[in-house]
Chain A
Amino acid sequence: MKSRFWSLTTILIFLIFFFFMILPVLNLFTGSFQTQEKGAFTLQNYLSFFHYPSYWRSLWNSILIGLISAAGAMIVGVPMGYMVSRWNVMGKSLIVTLSTLPLMLPTFIAAFAWVILLGRGGIITKFLQTWGIHIGSIYGYPGMILVFVSQLYSYVFLMTLSGFSAVDESIEEAGCSLGSSQLRTFWTVSLPLVLPTILSGAILTFMSAIENFGVPMIIAQQTPNLVVKAYIEFTSEVGTHPGMAYTLSIFLILITMASLVAQRYYLSKRNFIQAARGKPKVKQLTPGKRLLASGIIYAFLIFTLIPFFVALVLSFMEMRGPVFYPRFSLQSYVYAFSRSARPIFNSYFLATISTLVAVLIGVPTGYILTRRKSAYSNALDIVIMLPFVIAGTILGIALITFFNQGWIVLTGTWVILVLSYVIRKMPFIARSSASILYQLDPSLDEASISLGVSPMKTFYKVTFRLMMGGVVSGAILSWVTIISELSSTLVLRSPSWSTMTVEMYQGVVSDDLGKAAAFSSIMIISTVIPLLLATKYFSKDKGGGILL
């Protein structure tokens, strides 16, 4: 009976993913080979893609921006990870906490704030102009790279940090004992050991950058990437080309899939990091150097958080149209709450429901992956990896197309939003549950059973209790990222199911900057407070661990 329960659960999870993800995405794939009117087979979309520069350039833009952002993240993240791991810089846990914040906070708020500061009519731009200094435009590549590097560097930083902290001291000592200088040992022993881990972080940065929708929407302008182009083709008011949108989506999925395969099957097999027996030595810097190193790190951390301070400050300023006046005012909030209270409620409602459903499905999935190993659980492991390679916008397009007609019509309802959130967040919950279960010794369950407690009760009294901390912090992280989800929401929402992110985005594009700032601030607060609670009460598992 017990095994039948788990078989049924496994089948159910498969069905959910099959109907709500695989079928819609396959539908998108076939759609890219069909004519719009009759559905006949055609290669026209692919021919157009390679014919018109505006299409193939968007692919080029995606790849190039992804690569530059990943390289930038390495330039910042690797030295910083090394310093925090091996030098006695000040406040290491504070550094880790502050570095995870940009990963959690909505990236498009950062894009918005940098435009306010450095855009055409930006505060800093204007200030510099009065002194006769003209800075270049931040629209296009510079702005996107600035935002991606400053918001996503942490993938590389956290991976590097854990990598260098896990190199066994004796391995480096062995290098030195064989007559290699410290610097040589770093280049020939330590770095090659950690490199696969660093590259994993870089790939995550690459994937996040090319799947990102909000940042290029706000800041790309003349250099749209695949996601933006697909969105425009799908929703454009001057005649839509869904077939073209599907084709662009397929290209994006191919890139992300290749990256994930590279990460899973190439890099993870070259992971040489083992549990270190001897923790690596932390170098004691002279007070001056220590201050300098810490100063540089904190300066960078503050730099990455500037956009969020800016959004918070602006939200309390008086404004007329796109112009802010340096006077304290609650005008933006009054406006936000009076005109757009519903989206605030929607955001909280959708995030809460979706998180609960994701936990409900994700925790048993994690259990199946670790404790009910079989051919099916291996297949499940691959299936739940798929949402990582499907950008939110693409999933949105796939869902809205698939559930637009036929026997289940979900387009325009809140259910379709919940669906897309659950599909995308459930794998995080499943992975974090699985990683906790890997660490739990199965003989704990057996001990409980041998003491006379039935297996069902044992699950509740032992396994569940021990998993709870990790599950709750995973759930909080999911909740927080759903609150700031823009890409699929913008495709799937209907007028009555708008969210804070959508309102904020519309504030930006319609130059209603006070509204944008107010919603940004509410989102920042809704993100930071749960995160602080999570790290305070469930600090055993650092945010990075669940994220990656």
Chain B
Amino acid sequence: MSIQIVNVTKKFGNLEAVKDVTLEVKTGEFFTLLGPSGCGKTTLLRSIAGFNQPEKGEIYFNKKRVDKIATHKRGIGMVFQNYAVFPHLNVFNNVAYGLKARNFSADEIRPKVSRALQMVRLAGMEDRFPNQLSGGQLQRVAIARALVIEPQVLLMDEPLSNLDAKLRVEMRSEIRELQQSMKITTLYVTHDQEEALSISDRIAVMNHGVVEQMGEPWEIYNTPVNRFVAGFIGTTNFFEGTLISEQGGQGIVQVSEIKMKVSAHSPCVGEKVSFAIRPEAFKVAQEITEAERSCFLSLPGRVNKVEYLGFMTKYDLELCRGLSVKVVSYDVLPQHLRKTGETIELCYDPQRVLIC
């Protein structure tokens, strides 16, 4: 089952929460709407569910138009941010709720429910009531309840945001595994970029009601199309300067008091250029190989701050007055660890500069 969203606009009063969004979720795909709060991602999800009616546009499930169909007839499964597990029903009846609405007999319901509970690793909890369950267990009940009805599409609205950090990481891989095993078309909403990158086949980054960029996780991360996407996904150093020379696809940009090399189809000499370099694209000079050194460009920088986190070390470096960058080094050997106040040489591959 695929989902097509064509020119959908949803307004709340004068506010356009979703502006003319068009996208397609392919059959069996895990598709994520990612963006800051208020970007319209939940509104769009709720339009697909039918909890709100878009002012403009069409929504199709497999070429069949559904935006005028009532929610309960759309054949969706939905998982909510705050679980929405019925407090007056035990685990079994929560999961059986949708099956009963579909008039399955008691004999059919029982095996289906226990299979669903097994899937989310809650077998044996049938008689528990929601107030006896932890947050993680409640979300598993909610997932089992949404999956047991074998929905055509699964809609998930920030399902992990109420869980603690460790559980969140565990649950997201479980959700991914379930989705893969059932090959169910899934639309997932989150504001957590790490979660989105780890779980999705494709991501649409949203801001102010529009889709800024759509693509596979690596595309979104490595080739952000604009400053918003570059800034929202991961940490980034932004630079702004003037292109002072260009030769064979390599340009020199004057940024504040220093010159930086960029490799790109950049504008004409004399024009303003803004670009971004990821903290992990920088290398501290003594950590790189000779081969790399030859093609890398190096800059001197003064260490302002060191944050040692074991598996990685974060530096704040000052390249010149008023220009600081964040740098991340992984697996730093003790003898390579720099101290505050030292000056070090910083290298980067011009190929990894993101022009934006």
Contacts and interface: CB of A to CB of B under 8 A. Distances in A.
B78 interface: yes
A465 B84 CA distance: 15
Contact of A451 (B70, B81, B82, B97): B97
Given A443-B84, A466-B87, A454 B97 contact: no
Contacts of A444: 84, 86-87
B145 interface: yes
B113 to A, nearest CB: 13
Contacts of B75: 452
Given A446-B51, A446-B78, A451 B98 contact: yes
Contacts of B149: 451-452
Contacts of A458: 72
Contacts of A441: 82, 84
B166 interface: no
Contacts, number: 66
A446 B101 contact: no
Interface string A441-458: 101101111111111011
A451 B86 CA distance: 12
A443 B80 contact: yes
Contact of A452 (B49, B82, B101, B155): B101
B102 interface: yes
A525 interface: no
Contacts of A454: 70, 72
Nearest to B81: A443
Interface in B219-243: none
A450 B88 contact: no
A288 to B, nearest CB: 39
Nearest to A444: B84
B72 A447 contact: no
B82 A443 contact: yes
Contact of B84 (A446, A453, A457, A466): A446
Interface string A225-248: 000000000000000000000000
B88 A447 contact: no
B54 interface: no
Contacts of A313: none
B145 A451 contact: yes
B82 A453 contact: no
A462 interface: yes
Nearest to A469: B88
A462 B93 CA distance: 12
Interface size on B, as a range, is: 20 to 34
B71 interface: yes
Contact of A449 (B72, B145, B146): B72
Contacts of A462: 86, 88
Interface size on A, as a range, is: 10 to 19
Interface in A305-361: none
A448 B87 CA distance: 12
Contacts of A466: 86-88
B59 to A, nearest CB: 15
A207 to B, nearest CB: 35
A450 B149 CA distance: 11
Nearest to A452: B101
Interface in B141-181: 142, 145-146, 149, 155
Nearest to A447: B84
Contact of B102 (A443, A449, A450, A452): A452
A447 B86 contact: yes
B301 interface: no
Contacts of B70: 454-455
Contact of B101 (A443, A451, A465): A451
Contact of B76 (A450, A453, A455): A450
B209 interface: no
Interface string B42-67: 00000001010000000000000000
B77 interface: yes
Contacts of B142: 447
A457 B103 CA distance: 14
Interface in A409-448: 441, 443-444, 446-448
Interface in B78-130: 78, 80-82, 84-88, 97-98, 101-102
Contacts of A446: 49, 51, 71, 78, 80, 84
B80 A452 contact: no
Contacts of B102: 452
Contacts of B80: 443, 446-447
Contacts of B146: 450-451
Closest A-B pairs by Cβ, 5 of them:
A451-B98, A450-B78, A447-B84, A443-B84, A452-B101
Interface of A: 441, 443-444, 446-455, 457-458, 462, 465-466
11 contacts: A443-B84, A444-B84, A444-B87, A446-B84, A450-B71, A450-B76, A450-B155, A452-B72, A453-B98, A453-B101, A465-B88
